[in-house]
Structure 1
């Protein structure tokens, strides 16, 4: 799918030449183990680099330059993947082949080099007014979670089941962590990006592989990285003092979030089987949770499950009336029990297999998604192909799904509702 080159120790370039797109997509991904304070520093740094640099010191000048490049798109982002924090710089530009006598790709790559290597500094530090402004922006982003009750409920669930663990650490850090960010920390983090972080660069488009490789090597003088010991975080269930928490806010619809533990993770050989199992449990509109909890019993406004494979966790999310919490939990539990008893139809298996395949096919219609999918699956196999994964799902049997269901264990129930709801136990 992608051709791989090592530009320096710890710096890899992945190129996918394809006529599928008229644009060229570029993504730089710097990776380091996630920690609350570092996540906050990196989130603020991403914002600062997004809006100004030495060559274009104001946001308006910078945006004007980007717009001059035939509407090129350029943005920073911070996310997390498993135990790692990912600091990304992404760009999309029109292919030179569709322009007359223009070298826009070179201009865009040059601009990417500028925003990485030449930030706007005064006396060796970031401009204090800009630092202050971008800290406020990141804090607003964190606080916006409180307005989205589904996101808030999921975060509260994670904080209870995996405290001080990558699963519950936000890619933006916390409000106190952002408030504590200093200019010196930002300078130090910027240096780590340039010299220490493991870096993967992805390029997708109709291009000459050796030509684009040469451009990257010309504009980016990468240094060798030292090998790092990755922090290990086990997937074992955390011993809880209680397994149910009910919190109350001013709201109408209740948010029911249930966590299930499983020893199967993204790196397990049985991962494709768990993908199928979750799909039948609650992953799609034909799933047992959706059909029985939402459709048959009309007990939920929405109901589904998702498999967080990096952490060995399955989450069930349902929007319900406050007085239905106990009934809903019981009915959701029943769906897992019937799967454990082997009540799984060929139709459910075939529909789930088709949905997983269609999801992957549709995602690959986007260059950005091709990058994200390969960035994840290359951890298993750098020669990853879609056909290989289709075959894995095709080989999953009913007995394997039944056995997989027995490895799913309910861990914690979190319920967020208005005043009319279950008692906190």
Structure 2
């Protein structure tokens, strides 16, 4: 008889013959704390590159090649109040391989590989291999620095620091920061690793031509122990600032980056979540949007203009690339688009087009194994599972008044401009 699944470990299996591959995702989920972000990011780098059985990246790459070109990777991300270390692996379904002769199916071999990565890292004498540790710390240094070379990313991070100046964990990149990284030791990472194994909630998701029993049998071989189920909310709730914070920096950029941050206190589990998704698509989230049409196309004031909505942190962001001399004009026209939606000035044709684009995007996601796996973690964290037909019916029912109600809750919190400093805003 198969052993029970440990407490704090969940399993989602999407059995389908739609794909020629089998995708596996393992998420280790912990509370988001400023002290742990950098250490967990470095841990992910170290785990991704070596195990006892495959002590070098070359050895690990050879094993992936032996598994008929399997893909594998580890990443980190922030979701509201949670920090996630995510392992992904995808293997071809061997029934599509003419010359497959292995005694063990590729899915079970992939699960064995993930088991080796998670539970048997290269840790001589209980510490991570020194050469691997030093190399991956340098690689993470380079990755963090390269992010700052992306000026739009840098502008957005500066904006988050303005909004969450009293909440450093929310402001910080999922990769952490260089100051903390320079101070981390092998002992720190070993402690972080043991804490992850012992305490993190674990969410395993598989999609492909496999049964839930087959997946559960493979998972039962993993030495996962009981851990306390994390029932805390993934949503970061915060209080709006009384006044708008404005800041700017000068950098060697040809195109100024003007970003705006708003509080939008509607989360994934709220009744207005889908209406908020429609609002964002109409405001700046699609090429049909008011920002794209009126700021970029009609007024020709921006190289790009878009908005993004985060349902875990209750935030709305606007990102633009502009000529610095046009900053005040852009701020005014962005405000005008928001005011239009707040006043209910939205054509039925725009609403219909936006809803059609969201439906098409949802249907397209069904053809992506990785997007479907990602959606399963969202469902697990939020306990929101809405079948496609119900989602489609709710989307169809959204009105201009629903979008207006959402728009009226949007509050500007901060603006940030990164510019070349050689022109004066008019």
TM-score (norm 1): 0.94
- 1:47-126 pair list within 5 angstroms: 47-99=45-97, 100-102=100-102, 103=104, 104-126=106-128
Match of 1:217 in 2: 220
Q: Match of 2:220, SS?
A: helix
Match of 1:15 in 2: 13
Match of 2:185 in 1: 182
After superposition, the Cα gap between the structure-2 partners of 1:362 and 1:301, relative to the gap in structure 1 and judged at 3 Å, is same
Runs of at least 5 residues in structure 2 that lack an aligned partner in the other structure: none
Contact 2:236 2:312 (C-alpha < 8 Å) held by counterparts: no
Aligned equivalents of 1:239, 1:175: Cα separation in 2: 32
Match of 1:304 in 2: 306
Q: Match of 1:126, SS?
A: coil
Contact 1:236 1:263 (C-alpha < 8 Å) held by counterparts: no
Aligned equivalents of 2:354, 2:361: Cα separation in 1: 10
Q: Match of 2:386, SS?
A: coil
Residue range with higher mean Cα deviation, 225-234 or 153-162: 225-234
Deviation at 1:316, TM superposition (A): 1.0
Q: Match of 1:8, SS?
A: coil
Contact 1:6 1:13 (C-alpha < 8 Å) held by counterparts: no
Aligned equivalents of 1:123, 1:221: Cα separation in 2: 20
After superposition, the Cα gap between the structure-2 partners of 1:371 and 1:229, relative to the gap in structure 1 and judged at 3 Å, is closer
Aligned equivalents of 2:314, 2:285: Cα separation in 1: 16
Q: Match of 2:270, SS?
A: coil
Aligned equivalents of 2:362, 2:177: Cα separation in 1: 33
Deviation at 1:229, TM superposition (A): 6.5
TM-score (norm 2): 0.94
Match of 1:151 in 2: 153
Match of 1:234 in 2: 237
Runs of at least 5 residues in structure 1 that lack an aligned partner in the other structure: none
Deviation at 1:250, TM superposition (A): 1.1
Aligned equivalents of 1:366, 1:90: Cα separation in 2: 14
Count of residues in correspondence between the two structures: 418
Q: Match of 2:302, SS?
A: coil
Match of 2:339 in 1: 337
Runs of 4+ in 1 over 6 A off after TM superposition: none
Q: Match of 1:263, SS?
A: coil
Match of 1:249 in 2: 251
Contact 1:293 1:300 (C-alpha < 8 Å) held by counterparts: yes
Residue range with higher mean Cα deviation, 382-391 or 139-148: 382-391
Deviation at 1:212, TM superposition (A): 2.1
Deviation at 1:49, TM superposition (A): 1.3
After superposition, the Cα gap between the structure-2 partners of 1:180 and 1:342, relative to the gap in structure 1 and judged at 3 Å, is same
Deviation at 1:208, TM superposition (A): 2.5
After superposition, what is the alpha-carbon deviation per residue over 1:115-135, rounded to whole angstroms, capped at 9, x for unaligned?
A: 111111222111222211111
Aligned equivalents of 1:79, 1:178: Cα separation in 2: 17
Contact 2:307 2:316 (C-alpha < 8 Å) held by counterparts: yes
Deviation at 1:382, TM superposition (A): 5.3
Contact 1:252 1:418 (C-alpha < 8 Å) held by counterparts: yes
Deviation at 1:228, TM superposition (A): 4.3
Aligned equivalents of 1:132, 1:193: Cα separation in 2: 21
Match of 2:391 in 1: 389
Aligned equivalents of 1:380, 1:401: Cα separation in 2: 23
User: Do residues 198 (structure 1) and 201 (structure 2) align?
Assistant: yes
Contact 1:378 1:384 (C-alpha < 8 Å) held by counterparts: no
Contact 1:29 1:89 (C-alpha < 8 Å) held by counterparts: yes
- 1:28-47 pair list within 5 angstroms: 28-47=26-45
Deviation at 1:165, TM superposition (A): 4.2
Aligned equivalents of 1:33, 1:132: Cα separation in 2: 27
Deviation at 1:57, TM superposition (A): 1.5
After superposition, what is the alpha-carbon deviation per residue over 1:252-296, rounded to whole angstroms, capped at 9, x for unaligned?
A: 111110111122122221111111111111111111111111111
Aligned equivalents of 1:376, 1:293: Cα separation in 2: 33
Deviation at 1:383, TM superposition (A): 3.8
After superposition, the Cα gap between the structure-2 partners of 1:383 and 1:336, relative to the gap in structure 1 and judged at 3 Å, is closer
Q: Match of 1:7, SS?
A: coil
After superposition, the Cα gap between the structure-2 partners of 1:314 and 1:6, relative to the gap in structure 1 and judged at 3 Å, is farther
Deviation at 1:379, TM superposition (A): 3.6
Q: 2:363 pairs with 355, 361, 364, which one?
A: 361
